Chains A and B, each alone.
Chain A
Amino acid sequence: MIRTMLALGKLQLQRYNIYKMNFYLFTLNRIIEILVYIFVWQAIYYQTGDAGGFTIQEMTTYYILVITISSFALWGVNEDMAHSIRNGQINRELLNPISYFKYYFGIYLGELAFAIIIGGATFIICSFLFEIVLPQNLINVLLSMFIIILGVPITFFFQMIVGIAGFYTDSIWGMQILRKAIIQIFSGIIAPITLFPMWFQELSKWLPFKELIYTPVSIWLGDISMNDIVFIILKQAIWGIILYFIAKKFFNHAIKNITINGG
């Protein structure tokens, strides 16, 4: 089963390889995105001597790491799911000997592989352009990675829920944008969570999205204590299970109501 999923992932990755140009453009685009943020904070830092409680090197590192790992949280299989619902290919996907969830998880692995390549390239280019704050010890790096991996089921099941909504509505374009916006706002892509109003911080403490980006980056920067990490790991595990059950239940309900477009 795992071999099938890996093979699907490899196929997905190869699809990206066809358009090499995209790779360069994606990287360029992402660097532009953070350059704006970094320059704005630099201006503030030189004016006030303080960039939202960070030094400017920390703030720069924050955004570079954000852009390095944000594709793990944002990219996914929703476009593919929507596409196959629209042209009736879903028929075949449902009849596959591999389950619908596993099939898409395989494809998602391919997306993740591409995200790692793009993220790595972005990080390397940015490390030439800016001074990056390195973590104090190796444990922090490993812990960050562990938290990122814990986020994978959460992003995946969240995507499946959005994708399955397409069984009813045929078009998930709007929901897909909403999903990305929720993640962007609550995960700390726009700015570190500590800069948001208090009520927002309290809310995001209980939601799983902060852990996709803000927490791993903060662990890298050494801003999170070990006590919090236990809570975070527990919270992510529970959210993963909750989302899994919601996605499964939703799928079982949706499958009874689906109308398949003749492909």
Chain B
Amino acid sequence: MKQVLHNISLYLSFLKISLKEILIYRVDCIVGIFSELVVEGVSLIFIFIVFRNTDNLAGWNFQQILLLYGVTRISLGIVGYCFDGLYDIGPKYMRNGDFDKILLRPVHPLVSIIGASKEFVALTDFFIGIGITIYMLIQLAIPITFLLIFKIVFFSIVGALIIGAINTIFSISSFWTYRSNEVIWSFYRIYTFAQYPIDIYNAFIKIIITVILPFAFVAYYPTMEYLGFNKYMIYLSPVVAIVLWIIAIKLWNLALNKYRSTGT
């Protein structure tokens, strides 16, 4: 336990350093933010079009769907910012042998990899998420109490941890392929399903996003709680996050033991 806390505090100090990097890459940052906005725009257009044709989707109205969208974005923003390093394992560390250097450090390699790089652009997602969430809470006349704010903050972080764990599990593929990004990205994209009420899907997809890759616990169940649809599922989210992280770290360590350097 002590070691876990030590690793977490190390990670936080990595985070502080990387925040300062924003100032170095100003242009890239602006372009990135702009492109992120464009991408957001495209997904929002679909929601607008859908609600030109119906007034509810599986019982959720326009504002409620947008709230779910906003809450999802908050978690995605945190994941994009904090766990971007996972995408580098294959191309940046494995292929050219830099991974060996990291193994020599007295820190768990996962911590130094995740801590080493940050995607500032993902913070756009984060702030858009907060904006939409607050706006929709007002529109839906949900009282913004201190408790609600606390819940949103807490469960957004838990949601980010769930996605982070899933990404970590799939990053293991880079031990063999040296190209982790596509694999992680492909499975990460499954979160799109959880951006809509899961009642619209068939049993197969429901099982995938609640049990196999539990993206539904990221934002869907928490949002249901904020809306008063379902009071209890939300409390499973932290459990899911912890279980997933235990699996992720166990599997990662297992893969680490099998690791062979590329020798370059």
Contact = CB atoms under 8 A, between A and B. Distances in A.
B13 to A, nearest CB: 30
Interface string B198-228: 0111100100000000000000000000000
Contacts of A184: 42
A40 B200 contact: yes
A36 interface: yes
Contact of B182 (A22, A48, A177): A22
Contacts of A177: 35, 38-39
A52 B42 contact: no
Interface residues of A, number: 34
Interface in B172-206: 177, 179, 182-183, 185-186, 189-190, 192-193, 195-196, 199-202, 205
B190 A181 contact: no
B196 A36 contact: yes
Contacts of A19: 179
Nearest to B53: A52
B186 A29 contact: yes
Contacts of B192: 32-33, 36
Contacts of A29: 185-186, 189
Interface string A150-181: 00000000000000000000010110011001
B215 to A, nearest CB: 12
B28 interface: yes
A173 B199 CA distance: 38
Interface in A4-20: 19
Contacts of A174: 31-32, 34-35
Contacts, number: 90
Interface residues of B, number: 37
Interface string A224-238: 000000000000000
Which residue among A21, A36, A52, A184 has the maximum number of chain B CB atoms within 10 Å of its CB? A36
B58 interface: yes
Contact of B46 (A28, A50, A181, A191): A191
A235 B52 CA distance: 30
Contact of B205 (A39, A48, A178): A39
B258 to A, nearest CB: 19
Interface in A120-177: 171, 173-174, 177
A190 B49 contact: yes
Contacts of A28: 186
Contact of A40 (B38, B42, B56, B57): B57
Contacts of B205: 35, 39
Interface string B35-66: 10011011001100110111011100000000
Contacts of A107: none
Interface string A34-47: 01110111111001
A241 interface: no
B233 to A, nearest CB: 20
A37 B46 contact: yes
A25 B183 contact: yes
Nearest to B194: A36
A195 interface: yes
Nearest to B44: A190
B49 A171 contact: no
A201 to B, nearest CB: 12
Contacts of A50: 53
Contacts of A36: 192-193, 195-196
B56 to A, nearest CB: 7
Lowest 6 CB-CB distances: which A-B pairs, in order?
A: A174-B31, A177-B35, A43-B200, A181-B38, A191-B49, A25-B186
14 contacts: A21-B182, A25-B183, A29-B185, A32-B190, A32-B192, A36-B193, A43-B200, A44-B53, A47-B54, A173-B35, A178-B34, A184-B42, A185-B42, A190-B46
